[in-house]
């Protein structure tokens, strides 16, 4: 299976490197309405129909390694406790006391034997059950079995933790089936979180995410930081159902963006040694897998034109490059590369809001941007979207699965 996938990626890279013209069998991409980035009504549709009904990255198992460890997920107006129970299972609960709705936890992370409300000291065990109520005699209608913490649908995938606010969501591994196939041969379960970086930006979340759905900008924006390590002409895209995609780009030599002389761990298969494999994961995550380490990036809307990008830097549990200052150097390199992109976004958003342009033009190597926009409409429901903001559905026949 891995050999067949490597052969396929090599063939795609060769084909793309030799391409001289626009592919004859691929349609021209219709313009994307600027209103999707600047109209409050469209943002409200996303908040109502998209985010509450999809799997959202909430952390990594290494961040809560022992029973009683927890971390907070605080995005999209939600506060969710992600914790490890006595038996080692990972669960998620709304961070809301069932008495009078006080937040139970205020620290970003920690370890506890029980969750105790800071308002009236109601307490809950690690399974979310209500176990302590001061002056319980004063509550005539209290049924503690019915007043446990409200569960949030939570599943893990090779160490990655996801939550879904929709109780009827499809299984996580079914939702990300195509992504899991592309990660075969890369032992994600052996990785740990080295650092988490958050950056707030004055732009629509899609304006920031779009930047990571194409490699067209790399030779310009990242001419010194990324471009020297990649054969950009070989960049090729596979689109997957559900809005997901896979990017593959041949590497130049054995170096990585983190350095030319680093030892490469033995775990990852040849695919990941010879190519950079990047995976946009709908709705808002992106990873560019590197054998030395990589970042799990997510974009979270704070408002129509405000976004928080979180960057979770992953490394190996037993890192062959572990040494004085190595992780710190990785973090600084990631920040430097991110800054090359991020400083563009506020001006880009102002241009979108100026009213001077009404649509965006996309090329063949930007088709993953259009695929994402199509999927957003499918999640919202085209019938709910004003005609002038709809995306024409044309790319389904060109998916790889």
Region for 184 from its dihedrals, namely left if φ exceeds 0, alpha if ψ lies in -120 to 50, beta otherwise:
beta
CATH of region 2-54+189-398, choose from 3.90.380.10, 3.40.50.150, 3.40.50.2000, 3.30.160.270: 3.90.380.10
For the purposes of burial, counting CB atoms within 10 Å of the CB of 378, is it exposed (0-12), middle (13-18) or buried (19 or more)?
Answer: middle
Q: How far from chain centre, in Å, is Cα 62? A: 17
Q: 202, 216, 199: which is closest to 360 by C-alpha?
A: 216
For the purposes of burial, counting CB atoms within 10 Å of the CB of 318, is it exposed (0-12), middle (13-18) or buried (19 or more)?
Answer: exposed
In the chain, what percentage of residues exceed pLDDT 70? 95
* DSSP state letters, 205-216: HHHHHHGGG-ST
Architecture of domain 56-160: 3-layer Sandwich (2.102)
Q: Do domains 2-54+189-398 and 56-160 have the same CATH topology?
A: no
Q: pLDDT band for position 43 (50/70/90)? A: very high
What pLDDT sits at residue 5? 85
What pLDDT sits at residue 293? 81
For the purposes of burial, counting CB atoms within 10 Å of the CB of 346, is it exposed (0-12), middle (13-18) or buried (19 or more)?
Answer: middle
Residue 401 pLDDT > 90: no
Domain ranges of the chain: 2-54+189-398, 56-160
Cα distances from 85 to residues 40, 107, 122, in angstroms, run 41, 18, 19
> Which has the minimum average pLDDT: 81-90, 254-263, 355-364?
254-263
Mean pLDDT of all residues belonging to the chain: 93
- pTM of the full predicted structure? 0.94
Structure tokens at 158: 């090779």
């Amino acid at each position: 299976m891995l050999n067949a996938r490597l052969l396929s990626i090599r063939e795609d890279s060769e084909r793309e490197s030799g391409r001289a013209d626009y592919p004859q069998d691929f349609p021209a991409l219709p313009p994307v309405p600027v209103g999707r980035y600047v109209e409050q009504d469209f943002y409200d549709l996303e908040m109502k129909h998209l985010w509450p009904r999809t799997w959202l990255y909430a952390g990594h198992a290494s961040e809560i390694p022992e029973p009683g460890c927890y971390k907070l997920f605080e995005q999209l107006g939600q506060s969710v406790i992600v914790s490890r129970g006595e038996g080692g299972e990972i669960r998620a609960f709304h961070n809301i006391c069932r008495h009078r709705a006080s937040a139970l936890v205020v620290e970003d992370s920690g370890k506890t034997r029980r969750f105790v409300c800071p308002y009236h000291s109601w307490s809950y065990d690690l399974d979310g059950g209500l176990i302590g109520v001061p002056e319980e005699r004063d509550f005539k209608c209290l049924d503690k079995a019915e007043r446990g913490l409200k569960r949030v649908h939570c599943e893990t995938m090779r160490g990655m933790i996801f939550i879904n606010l929709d109780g009827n969501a499809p299984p996580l591994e079914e939702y990300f089936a195509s992504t899991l196939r592309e990660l075969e041969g890369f032992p994600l379960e052996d990785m740990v979180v080295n650092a988490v970086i958050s950056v707030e930006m004055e732009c629509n979340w899609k304006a920031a995410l779009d930047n990571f759905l194409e490699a067209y900008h790399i030779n310009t924006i990242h001419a010194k930081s990324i471009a020297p390590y990649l054969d950009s002409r070989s960049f090729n895209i596979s689109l997957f159902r559900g809005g997901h995609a896979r990017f593959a780009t041949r590497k130049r030599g054995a170096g990585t963006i983190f350095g030319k002389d680093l030892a490469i761990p033995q775990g990852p298969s040849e695919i990941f040694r010879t190519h950079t494999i990047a995976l946009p994961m709908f709705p808002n995550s992106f990873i560019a897998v590197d054998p030395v380490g990589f970042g799990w990036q997510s974009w979270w809307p704070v408002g129509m034109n405000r976004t928080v990008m979180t960057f979770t830097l992953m490394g190996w549990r037993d890192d062959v490059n572990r040494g004085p200052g190595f992780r710190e150097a990785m973090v600084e390199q990631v920040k430097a590369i991110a800054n090359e992109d991020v400083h563009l976004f506020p001006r880009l958003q102002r241009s979108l809001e100026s009213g001077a342009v009404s649509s965006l033009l996309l090329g063949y190597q930007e088709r993953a941007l259009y695929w994402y926009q199509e999927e957003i409409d499918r999640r919202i429901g085209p019938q709910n979207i004003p005609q002038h903001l709809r995306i024409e559905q044309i790319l389904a026949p060109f998916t790889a699965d």
